[in-house]
């Protein structure tokens, strides 16, 4: 459209015609003609009534304008009780701001437009985070509006070093994407890398943060997440303080954080608000859960199909007894049950809550006693599948939990083909992959390989807070002191 490149004219009618030509089939665009000032002068108020706060327009714009008694020469004479306003003469800006829910005020005989911030679209109230609940952390979660989300973060860090950079992604959607970082902590190279990658994204729009994550991640062929998606402001802030960069995508309730390391997906905010012994125990539990979720079914398959000699005799007899009536080989038995539980999970997730409970009851029967009594699977298998499922739900990060659940299947096949050797090779592949994986150019295997012993304080165990005086090095912070030594 050529007219958008052009400037406004001094004639109000011509300007209105340009707008009407541009916005065809746009019933929600309101043209409100007014006569303002003494003597009366024609003015035009334009806004998209689906994106504005009507109260604000009525009370703060129309009301004062109608009762204006001053003489209005130019648009700059108009005084309105709205803080955020700007002037422009370019159609391009007018249209862009109209789409953002602002109101344009045109005056006859003036080629300037007054743009007033009257944004107000349907939005959710700030609520408790749904996916990542926590015991002691804050109960505010991110919502779909970028400004609110930044406000939630700013409340934790009222500091001038918290820098905010805005950019837009998407040709049609113009999704506002905001980077937040601590300028004296975040590494400039990492930041530049992130900026470059976001700049390169050329898509229609970003509907959800997860899409942007996939567009900019280092290795799209990896099963593991390379960015953290969170809906918790406190988690975002704690990562900001470690020198990471927070990416807030408008219209999406999850916030992306990078660069991440593997172990950070096993940390929660609660870890830091609980006492260190309990927090360490929970960390160990999660690590154990990680191994169980990947290896438990495959260990069962390996032991039964290749190495029954490693099972002590008593246990072997019990297993044999319970498998007596089962016609399926261990691999099929395991895959059947694992698939059943995955389906249950997915069904429970997609169904509305009242029906979701039914799934739980039906599922409990399917993978429970009935299946055993029918002779399809063995008791031991049910125990193993349930344990594996619980273990995979312990992983605090949903993305990591999903990758782990996916890895279980190739591992089961490897175990059924090569027994323990297959499992060890699978483990080797996971390790080999993890250590070569990078997140924004920083190694994901850190602090284990490459080793940074100082960072081990906050990995497998969570050391007492007073010992964690420096920021972890994995995000390459440029300023290390986190706290002074104030305890004796």
Partner 1 sequence: MKRYEFNEVTTMQYIFLISGTQIGIGILSLPAQLADIANTDGWIAILIGWIISITASTIIIKTMEKHPQDTVFDLSHRYFGRIFGTLIHLAFVAYALLASITVVFTAIHITQVWILPNTPNYLIMILFMLPGFLITRNGVRVLGRYAEAVFYLTIWMPILIAIPLQKGTILYMLPILKEGWTPIFQAVKTTILSFLGFELTFVFYPFLKEKKHAIKAMVIANSISAFTFLLITVTCFIFFSPDETPSLIWPTLSLLKTIEFSFIERFEVIFLSFYLFVMSTTGIPYIFTTVFGMSQLIGKKDHTIVLLIAVCIFILTSFLYNPSFSHIQTMGSWWERYGLWGAYIFPVILFIYVSVAQWFRGGKKK
Count of residues near partner 1 by CB under 8 A: 30
CA 466, CA 127: separation in Å to the nearest integer? 32
- 32 phi and psi, to 5 degrees? -115, 110
Single out the residue of 66, 151, 424, 480 in contact with partner 1 (rule: CB under 8 A).
424
Cis peptide before 39 (omega within 30 of 0): yes
Shortest CB 277 distance to partner 1, Å? 23
> Token digits for 467?
């010992």
Query: Segment near partner 1 (CB under 8 A), from 205-213, 276-284, 444-452, 478-486?
Result: 444-452
Shortest CB 425 distance to partner 1, Å? 5
Cβ burial of 445 (10 Å; 0-12, 13-18, 19+) is buried
Q: DSSP assignment, residue 477?
A: -
Shortest CB 265 distance to partner 1, Å? 17
Contact 47, 62 (CB under 8 A): no
CA 254, CA 149: separation in Å to the nearest integer? 9
- Give the footprint of partner 1 on residues 217-276 (CB under 8 A): none
Rg, the chain, Cα only: 29
Find all residues with CB under 8 Å of 451, minimum gap 6, and list them.
none
Q: Please say which residue, 348 or 441, places its beta carbon nearer to partner 1.
A: 441
Beta-carbon count within 10 A of 226 CB: 23
Query: Segment near partner 1 (CB under 8 A), from 191-199, 302-310, 355-363, 403-411?
Result: 302-310
Whole-Å CA distances, 394 to 86, 293, 470:
51, 9, 28
Contact call for residue 355 and partner 1 (CB under 8 A): no
Contact call for residue 121 and partner 1 (CB under 8 A): no
Query: Segment near partner 1 (CB under 8 A), from 50-58, 211-219, 445-453, 475-483?
Result: 445-453
- The DSSP H or E segment spanning 21 is helix 12-22
Query: Segment near partner 1 (CB under 8 A), from 83-91, 187-195, 276-284, 443-451?
Result: 443-451
Q: Please say which residue, 220 or 354, places its beta carbon nearer to partner 1.
A: 220
Contact call for residue 418 and partner 1 (CB under 8 A): yes
Q: Please say which residue, 412 or 423, places its beta carbon nearer to partner 1.
A: 423
Contact 212, 206 (CB under 8 A): yes
Query: 34 by DSSP, 3-state: which?
Result: strand
Shortest CB 301 distance to partner 1, Å? 14
Shortest CB 474 distance to partner 1, Å? 13
x/- contact string, 447-476, with partner 1 (CB under 8 A)? -xxxx-------------------------
Q: Please say which residue, 207 or 429, places its beta carbon nearer to partner 1.
A: 429
Single out the residue of 436, 466, 480, 483 in contact with partner 1 (rule: CB under 8 A).
436
Q: Please say which residue, 121 or 418, places its beta carbon nearer to partner 1.
A: 418
- Give the footprint of partner 1 on residues 167-196 (CB under 8 A): none
CA 460, CA 463: separation in Å to the nearest integer? 9
Write out 59-85 in H/E/C secondary structure: HHHHHHHHCCCCCCCCHHHCCCCCCCE
- The DSSP H or E segment spanning 17 is helix 12-22
Shortest CB 200 distance to partner 1, Å? 21
Contact call for residue 380 and partner 1 (CB under 8 A): no
Contact call for residue 284 and partner 1 (CB under 8 A): no
Task: Provide the CA 367 distance to its chain's centre, in angstroms.
Answer: 33
Shortest CB 285 distance to partner 1, Å? 20
Shortest CB 465 distance to partner 1, Å? 25
Write out 376-435 in H/E/C secondary structure: CCCHHHHHHHHHHHHHHHHCCCHHHHHHHHHHHHHHHHHHHHHHHHHHHHHHHHHHHHHH
Contact call for residue 277 and partner 1 (CB under 8 A): no
Whole-Å CA distances, 413 to 138, 155, 332, 424, 431:
42, 49, 10, 13, 18
Single out the residue of 233, 422, 472, 477 in contact with partner 1 (rule: CB under 8 A).
422
Query: Segment near partner 1 (CB under 8 A), from 83-91, 229-237, 322-330, 422-430?
Result: 422-430
Contact call for residue 330 and partner 1 (CB under 8 A): no
Q: Please say which residue, 221 or 486, places its beta carbon nearer to partner 1.
A: 221
Query: 128 by DSSP, 3-state: which?
Result: coil
Shortest CB 482 distance to partner 1, Å? 23
CA 252, CA 173: separation in Å to the nearest integer? 13
Q: Please say which residue, 285 or 451, places its beta carbon nearer to partner 1.
A: 451
State the residues that interact with partner 1 by CB under 8 A. 306-307, 309-313, 315, 417-425, 428-429, 431-433, 435-436, 443, 445, 448-451
């Amino acid at each position: 459209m050529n007219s958008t490149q052009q400037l406004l004219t001094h004639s109000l009618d011509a300007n209105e015609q340009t707008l009407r030509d541009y916005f065809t089939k746009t019933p929600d665009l309101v043209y409100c003609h007014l006569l303002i000032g003494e003597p009366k002068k024609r003015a035009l108020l334009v806004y998209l009534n689906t994106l504005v706060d009507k109260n604000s327009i009525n009370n703060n714009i129309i009301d004062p304008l109608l009762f204006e008694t001053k003489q209005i020469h130019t648009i700059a004479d108009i005084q309105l009780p709205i803080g955020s306003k700007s002037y422009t003469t370019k159609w391009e800006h007018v249209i862009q701001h109209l789409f953002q829910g602002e109101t344009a005020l045109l005056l006859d005989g003036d080629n300037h437009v007054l743009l007033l911030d009257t944004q107000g679209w349907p939005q959710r109230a700030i609520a408790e985070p749904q996916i990542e609940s926590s015991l002691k952390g804050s109960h505010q979660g991110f919502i779909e509006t970028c400004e609110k989300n930044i406000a939630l973060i700013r409340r934790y860090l009222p500091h001038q070093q918290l820098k905010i950079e805005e950019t837009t992604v998407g040709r049609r959607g113009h999704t506002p994407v905001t980077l937040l970082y601590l300028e004296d902590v975040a590494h400039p190279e990492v930041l530049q890398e992130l900026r470059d990658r976001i700049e390169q994204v050329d898509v229609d729009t970003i509907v959800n943060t997860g899409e942007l994550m996939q567009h900019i991640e280092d290795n799209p062929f990896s099963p593991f997440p390379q960015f953290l998606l969170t809906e918790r402001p406190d988690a975002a802030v704690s990562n900001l303080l470690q020198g990471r960069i927070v990416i807030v995508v408008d219209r999406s309730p999850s916030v992306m954080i990078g660069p991440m390391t593997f172990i950070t997906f096993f940390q929660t905010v609660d870890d830091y608000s609980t006492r260190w012994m309990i927090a360490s125990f929970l960390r160990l539990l999660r690590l154990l859960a990680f191994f169980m979720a990947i290896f438990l079914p495959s260990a069962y398959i390996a032991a039964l199909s290749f190495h029954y000699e490693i099972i002590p005799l008593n246990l072997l007899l019990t297993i044999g007894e319970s498998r007596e009536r089962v016609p399926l080989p261990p691999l099929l038995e395991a895959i059947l049950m694992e698939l059943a539980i995955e389906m249950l999970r997915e069904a429970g997730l997609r169904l509305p809550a009242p029906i979701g409970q039914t799934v739980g009851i039906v599922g409990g029967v399917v993978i429970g006693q009935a299946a055993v009594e029918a002779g399809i699977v063995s008791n031991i298998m049910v125990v193993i599948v349930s344990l594996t499922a619980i273990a995979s739900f312990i992983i605090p990060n949903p993305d990591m939990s999903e990758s782990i659940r996916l890895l279980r299947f190739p591992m089961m096949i490897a175990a059924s083909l090569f027994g323990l050797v297959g499992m060890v090779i699978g483990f080797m592949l996971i390790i080999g992959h993890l250590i070569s994986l990078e997140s924004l150019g920083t190694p994901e295997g850190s602090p284990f390989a490459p080793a940074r012993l100082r960072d081990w304080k906050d990995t497998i165990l969570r050391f007492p807070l007073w010992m964690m005086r420096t920021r972890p090095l994995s995000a390459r912070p440029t300023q290390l002191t986190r706290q002074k030594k104030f305890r004796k």
